[in-house]
Amino acid sequence: MNTIKLRKQLEQFFIEDIGERDVTTDTIFPAHTTGEIVFIAKSSGIFCGQTVIEHGFQLLEPSMDINMLIKDGEKVEIGQEIATVKGTIRNLLKGERVVLNLIQRMSGIATKTKECVDRLNSPYTKICDTRKTTPGLRMLEKYAVTVGGGYNHRYGLYDAVMIKDNHISFAGSIRNAVKTIKQSIGHMVKVEVEVETKAQMVEALEAGADVIMFDNRSPEEIKKWIKYIPETIITEASGGITLENVASYKDCGVDYISLGFLTHSVASLDISVKVNLS
């Protein structure tokens, strides 16, 4: 994760939440009064967000004493302590909600990804994410996918070519779209084509696609079509794949299965922050 970008994002998140001041906290507590809080898991899952806790509180108070009890990727159980943070009460309370919101979401994504990886149980096919992320949180959400054992698809529109159905409709054909792309970009950028029929797959291969995505195809269909694809071509399955049916794609032969629900509709892991009085 890019920590420079993370710190800049955290700054904006704190500005959004704190504004000019925390009216409640700043009124009740003197500036130099210190205390300690503890992050506690209220549900079991995979933890993700160590750097958010560390950089978040240190942005507010560089001398904060942060003790991580769990590392990214480790399983947490209900009631387990994740981290303790010591510092001025004002900054502890100002930082807790922003940090908590982020690590709950990241941990939820990591937990769901791990569940999908385990359900698929494949030594060959990898689970990956999509661009269906929360605006502003893509770096954090995609990092959480990797913590859960998944892989990242393209980060945005800028780092890979992905020719989808609407591109094909506007361009007139897969062949036209790929030809135009190949004439304009360098050899370092891969070209992926989304296909829904065997004819589209053949057209994409003949046009020079580097990656073939089977869109909304059953495992049985993919097994029949994939035998015509050279081993040098990367394959991917997407669309209509859920946690309940992902295991059925285990032996279909694709390199990747991309799942939008890992980030767009995942439930956050329940974590709380309590004052540590011990």
Q: Which pTM value belongs to this model?
A: 0.95
Alpha-carbon span 119 to 246, nearest angstrom? 7
Tokens found for residue 233: 């071509």
* Residue 132 annotated in active site: yes
* Residue 215 annotated in active site: yes
Alpha-carbon span 265 to 138, nearest angstrom? 14
| CA atoms 158, 160, 166, 170: torsion sign | positive
- What are the two backbone dihedrals, phi and then psi, of residue 196, each rounded to the nearest 5 degrees? -120, -10
- What are the two backbone dihedrals, phi and then psi, of residue 134, each rounded to the nearest 5 degrees? -75, 125
Q: Which domains does the chain have, with CATH numbers?
A: 3-116+266-275 (3.90.1170.20), 117-264 (3.20.20.70)
* Rg value, the chain, Cα: 23
Catalytic residue among 115, 129, 194, 236: 194
Catalytic residue among 164, 198, 224, 274: 164
Which pLDDT tens digit goes with each residue over 5-35? 999 999 999 999 999 999 999 999 999 999 9
Tokens found for residue 6: 């993370």
* Residue 75 annotated in active site: no
Tokens found for residue 273: 């922050």
What does the angle CA 120 – CA 260 – CA 147 come to, to the nearest 5 degrees? 60
Catalytic residue among 11, 61, 74, 97: 97
Alpha-carbon span 61 to 89, nearest angstrom? 11
User: Integer distance in angstroms from the first to the last C-alpha of the chain?
Assistant: 34
Average pLDDT over residues 131-158: 96
Catalytic residue among 203, 215, 217, 236: 215
Catalytic residue among 7, 126, 131, 132: 132
Which pLDDT score is estimated for 277? Answer: 79
Which pLDDT tens digit goes with each residue over 64-100? 999 999 999 999 999 999 999 999 999 999 999 999 9
Alpha-carbon span 193 to 260, nearest angstrom? 17
